[in-house]
Structure 1
C-alpha cells in the first residue's frame, strides 16, 4: 500500500449552528485525509483501531470506494463517537461520547505503524505531542534513516490541543523529524502567540533551516526524550528533515513554505459549502500525495484546495470518489496552475547568516535566552512582511559586501534621495528594497559590490538598518557617509573627517554594551579611506568623532527659545579640549554594532560648520568629497580583500 493514514476513524454526529443535526457519519481526521488522497490515487488505506461495529456501519462505503480495510484493528466493541458542535462565529467544539480513555484505547500505536515506514510512499499522522506516541515513532524513523531503508515521507498534521505556546519547543522538535508539517492559521496563532501572518511565516521559515543548526541547538540544549525535563523529543543526529510546511488558511487558501520559496495558493472558486468538517484534513492528505508524487509546492497546495472543495460539498465524506471526480480534479488543477498563486522567494533562502549564527551558538548567549522569561514570545530574527525583513524590505541576495549608510539630511544639500544620488555613481545599480522608511540600492564601483541605504537620522534609525543587514546578510563592511558639525580647531567647513573612533554620548548603543566599550573604527577601513582621500586630493582629517542623540542642546546648540542648561554649555568645550574633531548622531551606532557583531565599521563625514571656531554653516560643504572617498575607499578594501583571499588559497595549496 502506497499511502497510510495513521489517525483514528470515528463516527461523527454533527450539530450545526442553525440547529440542523447530521448523525452517524464516517468521520475523524483520518477518514477525511484518506478522501484527500483517494481523489488522486487508489493505493491508500487507514491503519488504526476501530470498534466491532465499524465494519457494519461503514464497510459498504469502503467497498464502494475500493479502499482496503485490512489496516483496521478491532480494539473494542464500539468505535469512538464524536459530537461536533458548530457555533455562530464559525468556531466548533468536539466531545468524545465514550470518553477520552476509550478514544486513547482505539488509537494506533507505534508498533502497529512500524512495518509501513519501509514499504509505503507516504504516511499521514494526525496527533498531538503525546510523549508515549512520539517516543515510539521517532526511533523507528531514525533507524530507517540511518539504514537508508525508509521509503515513506511522513506528514504530521498537529492536533489543536498541542498548539499552545507551552508546547512550542516540543512541536518544533517533532516537526524537524518529519517531512511535512500541517497546521491551520488559528492553531499557528495560538502556538506562536501572534495574530500576524507575516510573523508566523517568518517563524516557520526559521524552522526550515537546511543547515540543521536550529535542530542541532535544540538537541544540544535539550537532549531528552519527550516527557523528560523540557518535554521534547531527541532530533535525529542534529539533522532537520522538514521540507514543507502546509499552513492552512480556510477560505483564504494556504501558504506553502519550503527552504526555497513561500507560495500563497487560493481555494477553489464557487464552492457550495454544505459542511466545513474535514476540509483541512482532506487538503493535508492531498498535499502529502502531491509531494510524494513530485509535484511543485504550488501544485501540492492546489491539489489540497481541490480535495477540500470535494469534501465540503456534502454532509460528511463524499459518498463515492471515482474516476469521474479524479478526472475533474485533474482538469481543475491544470486550469488553476500558474494563475493565482503568489510566490515569494525568501530573502535569505532560510539559510542562516554565518556571523549571526556564530553569536547564537555562544553558550553565554544561549544561557541568556534560557533566563529570559519572554524569549519564546519574541521573533528570533525580527519581523517579516511578505517574506522580507519588515523595516528595510531588502532582497538579501542582492546586498553587496560593502554597505554605505546615509541620512536624508537637508544640511547635506541633496537634490534627490541620498541613496539614489550615490547609486547613480554605481554600475548596474538596482533598487533592492523600499519600505517607505528606508531605500536601498546595489551596484558596483570598480569591482566592489556596494549597497547604499538611506533613512532617517540618529542612532535608533541606524539600529533598524543594521539589524536587518547584519541578521539577514553576510555584508562585511558598514560605513557611515554623512554630514557633521566641526568641533576641533583645525577642522573647517568643506573638510572631511575619517573617524578613527567615536565618543558614545548617545543612548542606543548603551542598550547593547556599557559605555566603557570602545567604539573603534576598523583599522582596514580607516587605512582604505585615508588612501582614497590622498588619491583624490581631498581635505581630510583622521581622529575622533562625537555622537549624540540631541542635535541641539546635546551638541551645545540652543533649543527652542534659546533653552540651555548648565551642562549643555560645557559639551563643546570638553570635547574641543579633548581633541575631538566633529560631531554627528549616527557614527557611534555603526562603529559600535559593527564591532560587536564581527563586521568592519567606519565613518566618513563632511563638515558643514564649526561651533567652536565660529565658522559659519555651508550647506553640503565637503559632502561630494565624502561620497568620493567612501566609494574609492570601498574599491581599495575590495582589492585588499581579494589579495587576502588569493593568499589564503595559495596557502591551502
Structure 2
C-alpha cells in the first residue's frame, strides 16, 4: 500500500470517528507528545499520518477527546488546523513548549497565553496587521481552572509567536551571526510584558477566529532565556494533563449552556 493510500485510510478513520468525539481537540507540535497524551487517557488509539504527523482519539475522565499534531511553525499549523476544522473540530487547545523571557517563571512552569504578538509570518496573508491573535475566553478560563485543579505553577499573559527559532527570538545563529538590532528587539519584547516566545500560537488563535472555533494555548517552559537553563522539569506531562482536563471542563460547560439555552458560558450559569 502506498503512503498516499495509507494516509487516506487514516484520514477517513479519523473523520468517521471524530464526529463521535464532538471535535474537542488538543494540538501539540511534537508528534512524540501524542503518546504522552494518549498515556493519560482511556481507550486511546493512535494514528500515524504522512510526513510524520500523528493523531489520537480516546476518553479522558468520561469526556471524549482527540489530538492532532501541527508540526513546527505557522505554515505547518495552518495546514493541519484547516484539516482539523474540516474534520469537525470546534475546540482546539495547543499544548506546546516555550521559552520564558520574564523573571519569576521557572523551567517546568506552564504558560497560558490569552493573546499573542503575530510575528509568525503566515497570518498577515489572512488579516490586517491590526487584527488581534486572542484566545477564547472560555478556553482560557478552562485552562486556568485545570491548572488550579492540579496545583500546578502557571502564568497567564501575552506571548510572542515568531517565524524564526533564532533571529526572530533574539538568539545568535550559526557562526555567531546576529544583527545589531537583535538584542534591542529582545529587550523591547520583555519591556512589553510578554511572557514567552514560541512558534505556533498566534497562527492558531488567528485562524480560530476566522474559522469561528474556540482555541487556546498551554505551554510548558523548557527554556528560561534569562538564565540560559534548558530543562523540561516534567512540564510536558503537566501541560498535556491540563489540556485534557480543560477539554473535560469545556465539555461540561457546553452541556450547561445547551441546557440553559445560552451561547456563552458565565460563572453563574
TM-score by shorter chain over 0.5:
yes
* 1:147-296 aligned within 5 A: none
Matched, 1:637 2:250: yes
Matched, 1:424 2:43: no
Q: Distance in 2 between matches of 1:622 and 1:520?
A: 24
* 1:441-460 aligned within 5 A: 441-460=56-75
Counterpart of 1:449 in 2: which secondary structure? strand
Give the aligned partner of residue 404 of structure 1.
26
Confirm or deny: 8 A CA contact 1:504 1:588 kept in the other structure.
Answer: yes
CA distances 1:489-546 after superposition (whole Å, capped 9, x unpaired): 2322121101110110111111111221100000000000101111110000110111
TM superposition score normalised by structure 1: 0.38
Q: How many residues align?
A: 256
Confirm or deny: 8 A CA contact 2:135 2:205 kept in the other structure.
Answer: yes
Cα distance change, pair 598–390 in 1 and its aligned pair in 2 (3 A): farther
Return the offset for 1:432: 4.5
Q: Distance in 1 between matches of 2:134 and 2:30?
A: 25
Confirm or deny: 8 A CA contact 1:393 1:434 kept in the other structure.
Answer: no
Give the aligned partner of residue 609 of structure 1.
223
Return the offset for 1:418: 1.3
Give the aligned partner of residue 14 of structure 2.
395
Counterpart of 1:614 in 2: which secondary structure? coil
1:626 to 227, 236, 239: 239
Matched, 1:575 2:201: no
CA distances 1:237-262 after superposition (whole Å, capped 9, x unpaired): xxxxxxxxxxxxxxxxxxxxxxxxxx
Counterpart of 1:514 in 2: which secondary structure? coil
Confirm or deny: 8 A CA contact 2:107 2:233 kept in the other structure.
Answer: no
- Larger RCO: Structure 1 or Structure 2 (Cα < 8 Å, ≥ 6 residues apart)? 2
Counterpart of 1:451 in 2: which secondary structure? strand
Matched, 1:585 2:215: no
Q: Distance in 2 between matches of 1:547 and 1:569?
A: 17
Q: Distance in 2 between matches of 1:580 and 1:522?
A: 19
Give the aligned partner of residue 145 of structure 1.
none
Confirm or deny: 8 A CA contact 2:170 2:182 kept in the other structure.
Answer: yes
Cα distance change, pair 456–473 in 1 and its aligned pair in 2 (3 A): closer
Return the offset for 1:619: 3.6
Q: Distance in 1 between matches of 2:92 and 2:258?
A: 20
Confirm or deny: 8 A CA contact 1:392 1:437 kept in the other structure.
Answer: no
Counterpart of 1:395 in 2: which secondary structure? helix
CA distances 1:207-255 after superposition (whole Å, capped 9, x unpaired): xxxxxxxxxxxxxxxxxxxxxxxxxxxxxxxxxxxxxxxxxxxxxxxxx
CA distances 1:108-161 after superposition (whole Å, capped 9, x unpaired): xxxxxxxxxxxxxxxxxxxxxxxxxxxxxxxxxxxxxxxxxxxxxxxxxxxxxx
Give the aligned partner of residue 534 of structure 1.
148
Give the aligned partner of residue 109 of structure 2.
495
Cα distance change, pair 599–581 in 1 and its aligned pair in 2 (3 A): same
Return the offset for 1:551: 0.4
Q: Distance in 2 between matches of 1:644 and 1:388?
A: 37
Confirm or deny: 8 A CA contact 2:101 2:197 kept in the other structure.
Answer: yes
Return the offset for 1:387: 10
Confirm or deny: 8 A CA contact 1:393 1:433 kept in the other structure.
Answer: no
1:559 to 169, 173, 181: 173
Counterpart of 2:187 in 1: which secondary structure? helix
Confirm or deny: 8 A CA contact 1:547 1:585 kept in the other structure.
Answer: yes
Cα distance change, pair 620–585 in 1 and its aligned pair in 2 (3 A): farther
Return the offset for 1:450: 1.3
Return the offset for 1:467: 1.1
Cα distance change, pair 592–598 in 1 and its aligned pair in 2 (3 A): same
Q: Distance in 1 between matches of 2:12 and 2:26?
A: 17
Matched, 1:469 2:88: no
CA distances 1:605-652 after superposition (whole Å, capped 9, x unpaired): 0112222x3251114552222112111111111110111112229xxx
Give the aligned partner of residue 127 of structure 1.
none
Cα distance change, pair 620–509 in 1 and its aligned pair in 2 (3 A): farther
RMSD across aligned positions (CA) = 2.2
TM superposition score normalised by structure 2: 0.88
Q: Distance in 1 between matches of 2:39 and 2:178?
A: 42
Confirm or deny: 8 A CA contact 2:115 2:133 kept in the other structure.
Answer: yes
Larger Rg: 1
Return the offset for 1:564: 0.3
CA distances 1:158-206 after superposition (whole Å, capped 9, x unpaired): xxxxxxxxxxxxxxxxxxxxxxxxxxxxxxxxxxxxxxxxxxxxxxxxx
